[in-house]
Amino acid sequence: MDRMTLSIDGQIVAAEKGVTVLEAALENGIYVPNLCYHSDLKPVGVCRLCIVEIKGRGLAPACMTPAEEGMVVKTETSDIRNIRRTAAELLILNHHADCLSCTKNTKCRLQEVANYLGIDEKRLKRLRTPQRNLAIDSSNPFFDRDMNRCILCGICIRTCDNINGAGAIDFVFRGYNTTVGTFQDKPLLESNCESCGECLVRCPVGALSPKTSQVPAREVKTVCPYCGCGCSIYLGVRGDKVVSSRGDAEGPANHGRLCVKGRFGIEFVNHAERLTSPLIRKDGQFVKASWDEALNLVATKLAGYKGDQFAAVSSAKCTNEDNYVFQKFARALMGTNNIDHCARL
């Protein structure tokens, strides 16, 4: 793959051709403040925090500027600091600052930027604080939407459009009243949102927060059990309970993306009524049995059925290979085409 070299703050770094100045800096461990950039999305340059100085060109947004061979870049000058501090201060003034109650506390990109820039609380107090109190949209069963914490980076909008393809949200209203909303600004549950949570995991602040959130003690890499796609996931475990699920960015089937079931539907693992062993009926009651005992009973019972007397219902949680064998069993051995699956029911 073609490589090039450029100078960033006097350091000669190597980068792949086609990357932006911001990507070249971040890949080489040089932090440049940013909020609207995400590696999964095409850059739009709306937050203006990644402003850098390029020799012979002047100031430019790093996320929108292609890196070039021999380019000389400065990420810290007095002009750059003033621009960044002003942009960050305006964002903070428009942002509800009760950080301790926010699920993104210590993981918030706005906090990260503020700490890096050394935002002065005394200066913030001299500025006029807007009186804005928008209603929290709690209609979605899995996450809340608090526009009082939104920084209008547009990451959620671009995620919904370009990754999920739903287009459920966009910028609405104008000027100071601009916010992110659904068609006719209805609650999220009344929109065409698919609750995949892709916007939630990419939101840099606490504008989108899960209704239930626990920090896992450890994570286990596995495969989502809901269908045959084979999405790779990390299940967060705390004690003996599964408390979270996130996509594996290296997963060949999903590349880190999940549907609503894979992201929010794993709680069935903890359900008190979940079956963990086969049950057979004895004296009118279901009792636990071994797999050998249960399979022998089923085989004995099935011997008395043939053709349309028999129907098969398979599980979408099985692999494609298991379901293939199951339908072959129904057609070739039991002689019936009465086959269905739980995902369609």
Average pLDDT value for the chain: 92
Do residues 179 and 171 touch, judged by C-beta distance below 8 A?
yes
What are the start and end residues of each CATH 3.10.20.740 domain in the chain? 3-126
3 state SS of 267: helix
| 315 has a pLDDT exceeding 80 | yes
3 state SS of 55: coil
Task: List, for residues 24-59, the tens digit of each pLDDT value.
Answer: 999 999 999 999 999 999 999 999 999 999 999 999
What are the start and end residues of each CATH 2.20.25.90 domain in the chain? 224-270
What is the fold, at CATH topology level, of the domain defined by 143-210?
Answer: Alpha-Beta Plaits (3.30.70)
Mean predicted confidence (pLDDT) in 110-120: 91
Only one residue has tokens 């547009």, namely 154
Task: Give CA–CA dist 168/270, Å, rounded.
Answer: 31
Do residues 201 and 159 touch, judged by C-beta distance below 8 A?
no
Task: List, for residues 155-178, the tens digit of each pLDDT value.
Answer: 999 999 999 999 999 999 998 889
Task: Give CA–CA dist 338/237, Å, rounded.
Answer: 40
Q: Is 3-126 assigned to CATH 1.10.340.30?
A: no
| 78 has a pLDDT exceeding 60 | yes
What CATH number does domain 224-270 carry, 3.40.50.920, 2.60.200.20, 3.40.50.720, 2.20.25.90?
2.20.25.90
Residues 6+ apart with CB under 8 A from 184: none
Task: List, for residues 173-232, the tens digit of each pLDDT value.
Answer: 998 889 999 999 999 999 999 999 999 999 999 999 999 888 999 999 999 988 878 899
Do residues 241 and 270 touch, judged by C-beta distance below 8 A?
yes
Task: List, for residues 216-275, the tens digit of each pLDDT value.
Answer: 999 999 999 888 788 999 999 999 899 999 999 999 999 999 999 999 998 888 888 888
Do residues 9 and 76 touch, judged by C-beta distance below 8 A?
yes
Task: Give CA–CA dist 131/133, Å, rounded.
Answer: 7
Burial class (CB in 10 A: 0-12, 13-18, 19+), 67: buried
What are the start and end residues of each CATH 3.30.70.20 domain in the chain? 143-210
